[in-house]
């Protein structure tokens, strides 16, 4: 089926839906000017590296081993998020959801808080990997369960040549050690899940409002296979029609009522 026919089919599904479940990965923010995590211009290539540091920026270990360098990286990442305005698609999705009898909910692996910046209500969003807008102690539950907003702590000053933060990087309010973003990283045993757990409870309550006869549409945008959390979530929803929008990995499971759009 050609693109135009697929788009027409997707539009009809959205029009007839009683509820919309938006699921998204990094690709949803690419059109706002952010890099994704797997393309040629991904976060790990766009942000500068420090040849004098061997710490992994993808795990929490850097906050123990070299917090100045690790916070230098995360501060630059924070600046990158803050420097973009979410594209018009966020507002369009919100408008669609607001017209539906049972409303909408968002499930995203993104940590940039783009939905909040687009005025989505906090109680309609689940950020399964957390958000850079919130901090926690790097020791996790070994110290405390505290999660606090990062607005008073970020961005930190980064020396231009070394890409390292000053000693003014965020610290835990309890123990005084290095704080870290409340973001689920690789090999991460200290992520404090409390905020995500509350969001998950909100999602559960929303699903409970959807009755057997209601038409549920899942619209997935920019979620790849490398970290398949979002795709697995999209495909796990029973009695729903899935619309998958993905330029590189558009393949979609049966039934034939589902729609694949290899578009941006």
Give tens-digit pLDDT for 130-155: 999 999 999 999 999 999 998 766 66
* Higher-scoring residue by pLDDT: 43, 261: 261
% of the chain at pLDDT higher than 90: 66
Mean pLDDT of 239-245: 97
State how far the Cα of 177 lies from the Cα of 207, in Å rounded to an integer: 40
In the sheet where 147-149 sits, what is the strand order?
A: 147-149, 130-137, 179-183
Residues, the chain? 264
pLDDT of residue 40: 46
Q: How confident is the model at residue 116 (pLDDT cuts 50, 70, 90)?
A: very high
Return the number of other C-beta atoms located less than 10 Å from residue 102's C-beta.
Answer: 18
Radius of gyration of the chain (CA): 20
pLDDT at 117 over 80: yes
**Contact 26/39 with Cβ under 8 angstroms?**
no
Report CA 88 to chain centroid distance, whole Å: 17
Long-range contacts of 118-125 (CB under 8 A, 24+ apart): 118/86, 118/90, 118/91, 118/94, 119/94, 120/90, 120/94, 123/202, 124/97, 124/202, 124/206, 125/199
3-state helix, strand, coil in the chain (%, to 5): 35, 20, 45
> Three-state DSSP class for 132?
strand
- pTM score above 0.85: yes
Band of pLDDT at residue 234, cut at 50, 70 and 90: very high
**Which residue(s) pair with 130 in the sheet?**
183
> What residues does 180 pair with on adjacent strands?
136
């Amino acid at each position: 089926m050609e693109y135009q026919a697929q788009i027409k089919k997707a539009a009809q599904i959205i029009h007839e839906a009683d509820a919309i479940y938006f699921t998204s990965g990094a690709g949803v923010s690419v059109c706002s000017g952010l890099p994704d995590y797997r393309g040629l211009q991904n976060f790990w290539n766009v942000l500068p590296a420090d040849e004098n540091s061997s710490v992994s920026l993808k795990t929490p270990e850097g906050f123990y081993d070299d917090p100045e360098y690790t916070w230098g990286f995360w501060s630059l990442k924070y600046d990158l998020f803050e420097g973009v305005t979410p594209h018009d698609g966020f507002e369009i999705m919100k408008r669609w959801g607001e017209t539906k009898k049972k409303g909408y909910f968002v499930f995203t692996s993104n940590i940039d808080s783009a939905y909040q910046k687009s005025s989505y209500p906090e109680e309609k969003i689940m950020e399964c990997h957390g958000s850079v807008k919130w901090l926690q102690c790097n020791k996790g539950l070994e110290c405390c369960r505290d999660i606090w907003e990062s607005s008073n702590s970020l961005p930190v000053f980064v020396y231009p040549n070394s890409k390292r933060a000053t000693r003014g990087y965020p610290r835990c309010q309890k123990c005084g050690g290095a704080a870290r973003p409340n973001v689920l990283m690789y090999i991460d045993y200290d992520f404090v899940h409390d905020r995500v757990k509350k969001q998950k409870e909100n999602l559960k309550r929303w699903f409970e409002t959807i009755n057997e006869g209601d038409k549920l549409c899942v619209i997935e945008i920019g979620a790849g296979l490398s970290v398949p959390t979002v795709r697995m979530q999209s495909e796990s929803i029973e009695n729903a029609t899935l619309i998958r929008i993905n330029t590189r990995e558009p393949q979609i499971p049966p039934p034939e009522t589902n729609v694949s759009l290899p578009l941006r």
